[in-house]
Structure 1
Amino acid sequence: MGYISDTLKQRRHRAAVLVSAATHDTTIRLAQLQQLNTKQQGLMLGPSEQMTASLNRYRDYLGHEYAWLVIDCREQLHADAIAACCGTLQAGGLLVLLLPEQPSPFALRLLDHAACFAEIQQQPANESTWHAIGEACQQLSRVTPNNVAPEALKQQQQIVEQLLGSQSPQLLIADRGRGKSATLGLAAKQWLASHHGELLITAPHPSAIAQVKRYVGANHERLRFRPWDKLLQQSPAANSPLIIDEAAAIPLPQLRRLCQHYQPLWLATTVAGYEGCGRGFVVHFEQWLRQRYPQLGYCQLQQPLRWAADDPLERWLWSALLLQQPSATATSSGIDERYHDCHASELDDSLLAQAFDLLLQGHYQSSPNDLKLLLDDPQQRLLLASENGQITGVVWYSQEGPLSAELAVAVQRGQRRPAGNLIPQAVGYYLQQQWALRHRCWRIVRIVVTTAQRRQGLGSQLLQQLRQQAQQQRIDWLATSYGYTQPLSRFWLNNHYQTIRISQRLDKSSGRPACFAAQALSTELQPPLATLVTYQQQQQRWREQQLSTTDVAQFAPPLLDIIDALYDAFINAYIGFNDAQFALFCQHQRGLICLPQTLHRAIDEAQLAQRLQQPSRASALAYLRQHLNLLKN
């Protein structure tokens, strides 16, 4: 049994072996494979020390190319890592994917779609399988990949000429393996040869530009990488030219600021969801770019450079992970009603593809891990709206709470933060509301409708349908979280979701403050939720310096209970300063503590040490807590 053949190499195809029910001696087998990797021709990702790195570090290796790839997903099926790292695999290469012993719906999907390709094999973890894998990896470590197809090189050269020949910014779109980094590098090489000074380049991770620099050649020192957040903190020289790579993995507001502060030459990105970037990025960002730069250029690398256009590994990934847009005419007889509530694993392939494509288009940073979560987590549900067999709207919601009494206490004290139950944990911890951890909540993860249905009321109709279902199942409250904007806030307010918290930290995906909104369904939760709404409103007034001592004196007892709980949580080191400073101010205004004058206005915790004249943030927090504890005692 061999996984590498002359035919595979000649066709510039890649193969995969999916190893199920991995046995106890797998660790030994992996160590043996690592011993073969003396020239680092292979990449091994997984939880054990025999691997090159852990799965969560996969982004560090995206700027490289490998002859073989081992991904150990027995403990954690990481769809993003699988999709992204397969883009580093050369033509003729081999993927070895270790799957969990008990296959989940997502793992079964990988296996089912693999059955359509002779080059994607499923094998048991026995002696013959490991022997064949070892032989293949040893053979691949000595192989030089075949030359690139001429048509792919021709397309690349045409795009390099387009990048260099325009005075307006150029947006370069490509899927993995199309030579995006090489194209940028070749263009940068010629630009540096004809210009003086430096050329800045930024990306979400330094490793993303390793391949770009490789193609720049002698002038690579003049191509200077700067993290995008550092670029926004410094004052640029006039018209500083800038390349932005993997643009879709940078929050949109920050991308816009980069374009405003610098002179963007080329903006390049992957759009197939490999790195947490949905197709919605292209729609939203290109729209903004065309308004700012009417002469914006657009180019797309379609022919793969690293493998053949009909590569079976890529076709398997695109099929299994739903990375390709479904046909516009695809229909299904699976839905015959206006609204349909289900788990993703219950949908046929056509309906699942339609639903997930909507989520990819509607949300800025969707990824293959979202598909895995929808298929594998029984708490994730979909509410679909359809018309004539076509899905027109999707609500993705998560069933959350209640938590056990013991876990609820640990969450409130900041000692535990288990996966899931995002809204109950956020309200229970940041606002110290234990009731939130004891009741059933449905969290709206995402809501999206087709372009044709926007501003037609379908989103609100879906929310009303979800509310009816929740009431029938005696759910206590509904909630959501989103990156705050005024239009989004109006949408949720119009649908009776009141703002209960706006974080002062910016969400890493949207670049905006995370906003939490909710509505009570049970009569029991109406008073505490109304109090949280009032607390958020008063806190906002304080941030805007519109709150007086008289106002605080008139706070109702339920509001004072929240303030007392947050104050106690801070002095006991359960919560941080950012989440407690309004409560501290209120306690000062009530005459219960004496807060230094420098802390009467909203500041960031990073400024605390300077305000209290302490050497570090930790010492400033310790000093403040000690001061408050002395006053309390």
Structure 2
Amino acid sequence: MTSSNAPSNPAQIWADDLCTQLEQQRHRACLVLCGSADWHQAWLKRLIRPNWQGLFIGETSPHPQATPQNPKQLRHLLGQETDFALFDAEAGLEADALGIVGGLIRAGGLCLICLPPKADFLNHPNPALAAFLNYPLTPEDSLKGFQAHLWHQLHRHALWLEENQIDPAWPNLHHLPSAPSTPPLNRDVTQPTADQAEALHAIQHVAFGHRKRPLLLTADRGRGKSTTLGLACVALLQAGKRRLTLSAARLPQVQTAFDTIENALPQLALSGFVLREKRPGLVIFDIDQDVAEIRFRAPDDLIRAPADTELLLVDEAAHLPLPMLFALLKSHSRTVLASTEHGYEGSGRGFRLKLTEHLDAHYPGWKRHTLTTPIRWADKDPLENTLNQLFLLDTAPEKDITDPTLIRQVQIERIDHPAELAQPDNRADLQRLFQLLTQAHYQTRPNDLMQLLEIPNQQLWVARAQGQIVAVLFAVGEGGLPNEPGRRFQGHLFPQLLKRHTHHPDWLSLNGWRIQRLAVWPSVQRLGLGRQLTAHFIEANQTEADTLSVSFSADAGLIRFWTSLDFQPLHLGLKRDQASGQHSAALCYPLTEKAARLTQQAQQQFQSEFAWNLTQPFQHLESDLALAILRGQPPALPSHFPNGYLQDQPFESVAFALRQWTLGQLTQLEDSDTLALWLRKVVQHQAWSDVVAASPFPHRKALEAHFKNWLAQQLAPI
């Protein structure tokens, strides 16, 4: 008697051989099952081992050993492991989810993707797109470009089984890579690998060397980065340190580090450390009539009250807003920042570029160390390779173009059919585009690639030099909405934001394009390419839209750039965005008379409200950002300067007059540290004690004397 599970069944033998080989090599693999639902079920029964427990990415699992998991909640499982992950195209394929499971599947496990036959898949709408399309678009309206990209890349870089195939058409398992060196399954995690030992040496330098020389520790997933932080804490305690602080966006992100410390408790006991207390986020020891502790503290708490610590170690630093990281570096003299280079957020490259720019400017002695050897699985992992190919992380960037004469010869073009970028012949362009978008925004994710290839209401413009893409502008269509009080339409960020804050419903009906990304290749920035690309975009839409808009995490440089192109600031969010740590700004370029009228009204309202809000909700807004926004608006009416202040008239008697004079003179006053301090006091109404603390002066009297000398110089030519 035979059955589908009998050893003599060739399909079962192939499935068993695959799982055995992955287990022996400590590899993972991505396997595509392309066929009917019943055929999928038969293969899942062959492949999923009786003792496995896995995840189904969707609502209703087709297999009893796969727990349903909402893709939006997957990131909360990071740090855990699963035997397999199961996707079904009928339930939707979300790019972020595919990226995340690459960090969850253990060595020996499988990522299983069930697809219908080719014609059905390439033409069938992806349900996962529903959350990313502006009203009234539906997945049926999508470009199907990401599905074509998935098909081509998975067919080439994943294991692929297709219904009606017969052996030997099944993938040849001898073609799977062999691990050059296979880490032992039960390796002693308290003993560092050679790769980790080098990282520990670098961390020791931070702890015992010169102050203000931070370390950036980067690694692809599975390289033991978090374990290394735990090993560092153990080694530093044994070397004499007594107060160590671990930090991350959430406590579970440092759990691996604390687990490593727990595994080393016997080792520490031999060194004389007596465990006094252990609870989530805290370990305290008694040692030689002293106390040693390793404590977790949240980043915002550390900024409010810097830690009395001998070393701060921040894990998953790319999850934190850059301004928050800058503040942590400033307030802690010995800091290690650890970050995933290619993670579920898509890529850490953009984060690294922006962070290293800051480190170069403020911490000349900073160091970088990269962990390269996988620990959780073996080197040359097939699943890692598949995901790197799928999300365009597989090759180094092309050679930079730096010759300014070549840049002056750029050709600007609109890519009319973005879905065609998914074709294999266009892979180089798609990769270059995604690298640019990644560097423009350090939290770029795989979903951004999916949207680029799927959203129908988009404009994609590029600048090429010698055929190579050096700049990109990506915009999304918005507006044309009905006025239905109380209704919130999916997407359409700019028109709904302006309607809400101006209480003018006409904003909804205007048709516009919102620029989501404008990126220029790093080696050719500051040569006018972004300005040139935007000018082409504006010219091309003169008769095609009512408005052009842009929304971004505000900083002074970006505000100055967009206002120099005649975009008008119309909004600044009162709260800082959780992802960027900055306020969100919205600016508008009107193209029609109606839009110009609405923009002027909104601009006047924002000008007065922003100036007023600088005294309270924006009281601690960065002075250069406040100045950039104020200068980006029509100047306030000139106001008389209260000359008595330069004599003996008290500040409090003329504070309002000084404020009005300052607002009217901003275009005349040159940027300086003194102007920044003056704005904090006179325009933002900060306490004298706060302004003095930010100045080089010991007390108010000295600072005020400096202000008066500066004002006398400013008044002389006026």
- Shorter-normalised TM range: 0.7 to 0.9
1:56–1:190 Cα change, 3 Å: same
CA distance in 2, matches of 1:7, 1:501: 58
CA distance in 2, matches of 1:244, 1:493: 36
2:336 aligned with 1:272, yes or no? no
The aligned amino acid for 2:539 is Q
1:383–1:466 contact (8 Å) kept in structure 2: yes
CA distance in 2, matches of 1:187, 1:59: 26
- Following TM superposition, by how much is the alpha carbon of 1:108 offset from its aligned partner in structure 2, in angstroms? 2.8
Q: How many residues align?
A: 518
Pick aligned residue for 2:525 from 424, 433, 454:
454
Give the structure with higher Rg (CA).
Answer: 2
2:39–2:163 contact (8 Å) kept in structure 1: no
> Percent identity over the alignment?
30
Specify the alignment match of 1:506 in structure 2: 576
2:484 aligned with 1:409, yes or no? yes
1:295–1:545 Cα change, 3 Å: closer
- Following TM superposition, by how much is the alpha carbon of 1:265 offset from its aligned partner in structure 2, in angstroms? 3.1
1:470–1:93 Cα change, 3 Å: same
CA distance in 2, matches of 1:73, 1:416: 29
- Following TM superposition, by how much is the alpha carbon of 1:249 offset from its aligned partner in structure 2, in angstroms? 1.1
Pick aligned residue for 2:54 from 42, 49, 64:
42
CA deviation digits over 1:531-574, x for unaligned, max 9? Answer: 1111110101222459xxxxxxxxxxxxxxxxxxxxxxxxxxxx
Pick aligned residue for 1:70 from 86, 95, 105:
86
Specify the alignment match of 1:561 in structure 2: none
The aligned amino acid for 1:379 is N
2:415 aligned with 1:341, yes or no? yes
Q: What are the ranges of 5 or more consecutive residues in structure 1 without an aligned counterpart?
A: 127-143, 547-600, 604-633
2:204 aligned with 1:164, yes or no? yes
1:203–1:244 contact (8 Å) kept in structure 2: yes
Specify the alignment match of 1:179 in structure 2: 224
CA distance in 2, matches of 1:94, 1:198: 42
1:388–1:486 Cα change, 3 Å: same
2:160 aligned with 1:121, yes or no? yes
CA deviation digits over 1:62-106, x for unaligned, max 9? Answer: 112333223456444322222122122222211123458626322
The aligned amino acid for 1:163 is I
2:550 aligned with 1:476, yes or no? no
1:536–1:86 Cα change, 3 Å: same
- Following TM superposition, by how much is the alpha carbon of 1:23 offset from its aligned partner in structure 2, in angstroms? 4.2
CA distance in 2, matches of 1:21, 1:468: 48
CA distance in 1, matches of 2:568, 2:376: 51
1:111–1:122 contact (8 Å) kept in structure 2: no
The aligned amino acid for 2:415 is D
SS in 1 for 2:150: helix
SS in 1 for 2:202: helix
Q: How does 1:140-289 map to 2 (within 5 A)?
A: 146=185, 153-166=193-206, 167=209, 168-195=213-240, 197-217=242-262, 218=265, 221=283, 222-233=293-304, 235-239=305-309, 241-275=311-345, 278-289=348-359
1:88–1:177 contact (8 Å) kept in structure 2: no
1:326–1:238 Cα change, 3 Å: closer
CA deviation digits over 1:417-442, x for unaligned, max 9? Answer: 41x22212222233333222112111
1:22–1:602 Cα change, 3 Å: farther
Q: How does 1:418-433 map to 2 (within 5 A)?
A: 418=490, 420-433=491-504
SS in 2 for 1:51: strand
Specify the alignment match of 1:363 in structure 2: 441
Q: What are the ranges of 5 or more consecutive residues in structure 2 without an aligned counterpart?
A: 1-10, 127-143, 166-182, 266-274, 276-281, 284-292, 402-408, 617-682, 686-718
1:198–1:71 Cα change, 3 Å: farther
SS in 2 for 1:471: coil
The aligned amino acid for 2:234 is K
The aligned amino acid for 2:336 is W
- Following TM superposition, by how much is the alpha carbon of 1:258 offset from its aligned partner in structure 2, in angstroms? 1.5
1:152–1:304 contact (8 Å) kept in structure 2: no
The aligned amino acid for 2:352 is V
The aligned amino acid for 1:84 is I
Q: How does 1:273-352 map to 2 (within 5 A)?
A: 273-275=343-345, 278-329=348-399, 337-347=411-421, 348-352=426-430
Specify the alignment match of 2:689 in structure 1: none
2:32 aligned with 1:18, yes or no? yes
SS in 1 for 2:107: strand
TM-score by length of 2: 0.66
1:239–1:263 contact (8 Å) kept in structure 2: no
1:478–1:99 Cα change, 3 Å: farther
CA deviation digits over 1:37-60, x for unaligned, max 9? Answer: 6xx853444334873532111122
2:400–2:523 contact (8 Å) kept in structure 1: no
TM-score by length of 1: 0.74
CA distance in 2, matches of 1:123, 1:198: 58
1:343–1:381 contact (8 Å) kept in structure 2: no
CA distance in 2, matches of 1:125, 1:537: 68
CA distance in 1, matches of 2:555, 2:574: 14
Choose 252-261 or 23-32, whichever is displaced more: 23-32
Choose 350-359 or 152-161, whichever is displaced more: 152-161
The aligned amino acid for 2:246 is I
SS in 2 for 1:371: helix
Specify the alignment match of 1:61 in structure 2: 77
CA distance in 2, matches of 1:342, 1:479: 21
